[in-house]
Chain A
Amino acid sequence: MSYVPLDLPDLGLAATLLVVNGVISLAFRLGLERSFAIAAARMVVQLAIVGLALKFIFEVNSPLWTALFALVMLAAAAYEVGARQERRIRGWRALTLGAATPFCAGLVATLFATAIVIGPDPWYAPRYVLPILGMMLGNALSGTSLVLDAVTQGAVRERNAIEARLALGATRFEALDGVLRRALTTGLMPILTAMAATGVVTLPGMMTGQILAGIEPVAAAKYQVMIMFLIAGATGLAVVLAGLGAVLLLTDERHRLRLDRLAS
């Protein structure tokens, strides 16, 4: 393994490219120059903190610190799901669904990968667990919010058809069958296209990173293949949980459509 380490002056050099964005914003009067500066500063600070935190955690190599960092990531994921929804379902049960879905899916896939597939020593080695958990959470999270959005929007759009089916004696899952199926398709589409396009259209970020860090490309490709399978599994799990949960939350035990539970 060999790579060229970056110094602060190198980063400063790269940062000059931000000037391009500033010029575009000024030339077209987009008013985005402040936002760009803030976003860039946030990125630097956040990554610096994460880098330092991970450095510490890798050095202590303890299950407790690993679990703690994982919990922080899970909490951030749960918050993101809530913030991303266009029309949220009100109440604590919806918050729980948004939080629990990426949590379960991410955790299951990560534990499967580290404990069974990779098998590092010790199995909780933070150098493996945390990056993988991060990728699983990110993908499970997009899947969750895509599906929640698709179910709520579908239920609003097809409200009359759903109520017509309920009136004819359909159960809630029968009446929302079309909405749910389209939502699941929506949620699964990104990983499907990602798998098909990987290596041809895009070079995945993790593989790029490993190659830059000096890993042999075929080894990096193998890791990427495993990660994509894990992502597919985590996304599938998240999508199904979120879809079934959303249908249950938008209906009640009397099989009524409850759009009044949507925040306007």
Chain B
Amino acid sequence: MRDESREEPVLRVEHMRIGTLPAISFEVAAGECLAVEGPSGAGKTRLLKAIADLDPAPGHIFLDGVERLEMFAPAWRKAVRYCAAEPAWWTETARSAFCLDAAGAQRLERHLAAVGLEAADLDRPIALLSTGERQRLALVRALIDQPRVLLLDEPTTALDVAAAALVEEQIRYLLLAGRSVLLASHDRGLVARLAHLRLELARPVIAAARAAS
């Protein structure tokens, strides 16, 4: 690190507006995990999708100092990867949803093993997999091409305790490897163990209306 300034954050969000929430600004550095907190409906998913540029939202987002609009949108999403709470599939089996180069194919088995899956699971019909298996496969799908920033939306909700522990370990590993993670989760324990920073999304308008009545 140079001495004249702080290290450039990987992800910088400036004055992002989600619904009626006050403008949101924050920075996340390499290896840092930011927990996005708030009650259901507060806008956690909307914020994560806006950061992945999947939903239009006013405000600026920078990845390594480059504004999102300066990047081709698909390239932005390859680097800033949103991983949905209920992952969707568009193929019969998971394998055809992975389009991998040779290096990716080598990483695949390791990634699967890390979350308690095996290569054979890729060829089972998606419809016959359990919710938890689908969620872990979707995590592998989101990690395999090594995005810089991960936006994890409830990554452990559908998982049993053992699988959730594996996913937590995987997230910890990603952070050690220098990735940045935004984590929206109702699992307080998971958040407490992983998060370095916290962002609380309140619902100021509704709260004010309730207080007045």
B84 contacts A166, C-beta separation under 8 Å: no
Complex Cα spacing A252 to B74, Å: 12
Chain A 221-264, CB-CB to B under 8 Å as 1, else 0, gives 00000000000000000000000000000001111111000000
Complex Cα spacing A252 to B54, Å: 10
Q: When A167-B82, A168-B77, A169-B74 are in contact, do A256 and B90 touch as well, CB less than 8 Å?
A: no
Complex interface: chain A residues within 8 A of B86 (CB): 160
From the candidates B54, B69, B75, B90, name the one contacting A167 in the complex (CB within 8 A). Answer: B54
Q: When A256-B54, A256-B56 are in contact, do A167 and B77 touch as well, CB less than 8 Å?
A: yes
Chain A 132-158, CB-CB to B under 8 Å as 1, else 0, gives 000000000000000000000000001
From the candidates A169, A171, A178, A256, name the one contacting B55 in the complex (CB within 8 A). Answer: A256
Q: Say yes or no: is B19 at the interface (Cβ < 8 Å to chain A).
A: no
Residue on B nearest A158 in the bound complex, by CB? B90
Contact count band on A: 20 to 34
Chain B 40-62, CB-CB to A under 8 Å as 1, else 0, gives 00000000010011111000000
Complex interface: chain B residues within 8 A of A158 (CB): 88, 90
Complex Cα spacing A207 to B86, Å: 56
Residue on B nearest A252 in the bound complex, by CB? B56
21 residue pairs A–B, Cβ–Cβ below 8 Å: A160-B88, A161-B88, A161-B90, A163-B54, A163-B88, A164-B89, A164-B138, A167-B52, A167-B142, A168-B78, A168-B81, A168-B141, A169-B74, A169-B77, A169-B78, A170-B74, A178-B90, A254-B73, A256-B53, A256-B55, A256-B56
Of all A-B residue pairs in the complex, the 7 with the closest CB atoms, nearest first, are A160-B88, A169-B78, A161-B90, A161-B88, A255-B73, A254-B73, A164-B88
Residues of A within 8 A of B (CB): 158, 160-171, 178, 252-258
